[in-house]
Structure 1
Amino acid sequence: MVRKIYQLRVALDGVTPPVWRRVQVPGAFTLDRIHRVIQYAMGWRDYHLHSFDIGGAQYGEPDPDGDLDLVDELEVRLDAVATEGTRLRYTYDYGDWWEHTVDVEEVLAADPDERYPLCLEGAGICPPEDVGGAFGYAEAVAVLHDPAHPEYAAVRERFGGVPESFDPRLATTLLRRLA
């Protein structure tokens, strides 16, 4: 049986400069593993709640209080809910409300000489945790483009670089922890 690999383009909505990643993951990954792929590839730290919306159904970590009606992501494989051309919505951090568009660009046969998951390419540094949503991110980016700003050094340290930079090799190294 040929293993299927899903090529996903994950884009953070509502930010400038654009923040996105192109990753390849096994179709047999459950949605909780896809969550972790997105976390590692984007640069999030997994400090907050998240959910997926796929075709109107909500998936995530079950809410012990019953306030959120989510299908358990541990029980659902990517290849059971998505095919080539499927668009998923991924929301992370219900306070800052980071929405991501996840497009299934291709479904490919696995390369026997490749280890998955991997990050092929991307752009932009992910906003730091708790930066204040898209508005707070825009303010921080403005500071980073003004070295004379009094908060420049602190904001640059928090970001770990300039907003436009991204290294897919580093993301792939982090993703290997999921393999």
Structure 2
Amino acid sequence: MDTIIQVKISLRGTKPLIWRRILVEKTSTFETLHEVIQIAMGWTNSHLHEFTAAGVRIGQPLEEFDMDYGEKLIDEATVTLESVLTHGTQTVDYTYDFGDSWEHTLIVEQWLPVDADLQYPICTGGKLNCPPEDCGGIPGFYEMLRIINDKGHPERQEMLEWLGGIYDAKAFDLQEVNQQLTAFFHSS
């Protein structure tokens, strides 16, 4: 029987918590999981990333960055979720952008039977907008919010221009995320 894995993705250090819940096929690779996370969270996939699961580093091997720090980086394109994840609750760490260090906790919430009426991967829920890329990690994100929410702040206009005119911290559009997932994974 085919099985789906339900995963909750939480961006560490955010309060209230910025999170997404996704359903992915157990036969998906970690490379696919990375793409799903990028779309579901709202990242632009413009930085390096890495998973750590059960003490194993999984990511994109890049020879110019593959220094020998003891443990080898396993190629995410060759590792399926079912080969690493186990039934029951398990957590996986996912770091995106080693400069800003967006640290995510992925919690494997449950294993479910395939629903023939759904196309996978799919996002089933979430809260709040993803921080903008290159804003300086969690501290920079909260400083940016403080500046744009203070109408009298001298840097407010410049910050809004950098953001493209607007940033809605509460925005999360489930339908838009799923349209992007469908376009990425199911268009020919």
- Check whether TM > 0.5: yes
- Does residue 149 (structure 1) correspond to residue 153 (structure 2)? The answer is yes
Residue 173 of structure 1: aligned partner:
179
% identical equivalent positions: 38
Residue type of the alignment partner of 2:185: L
Per the alignment, in what secondary structure is the counterpart of residue 63 of structure 2?
coil
Q: TM-score under structure 2 normalisation? A: 0.88
- 1:56-95 Cα deviation digits (max 9, x unpaired): 0000001213316310000000111113311000001111
After TM superposition, list the pairs within 5 Å mapping 1:65-80 onto structure 2: 65=64, 66-67=66-67, 69-80=72-83
TM-score by length of structure 1 reads 0.92
Match of 1:82 in 2: 85
Using the TM superposition, give the Cα deviation of residue 27 of structure 1 relative to its aligned residue in structure 2, in angstroms. 1.0
Segments of structure 2 that go 5 or more residues without pairing to the other structure are none
C-alpha RMSD of the superposition: 1.7
In 1: Cα distance, 2:138 partner to 2:9 partner: 16
Task: Tell me if the contact between 1:32 and 1:60 (Cα under 8 Å) persists in the aligned partners.
Answer: yes
In the alignment, which residue of structure 2 is the partner of 1:54?
A: 53
Count residues in correspondence.
178
Deviations 1:108-134 (A, max 9, x none): 001001111111111111111110011
The amino acid across from 1:144 in the alignment is I
> 1:62–1:72: 8 Å Cα contact kept in structure 2?
yes
- Equivalent residue number for residue 163 of structure 1: 169
Aligned pairs for 1:117-132 (under 5 A) are 117-132=121-136
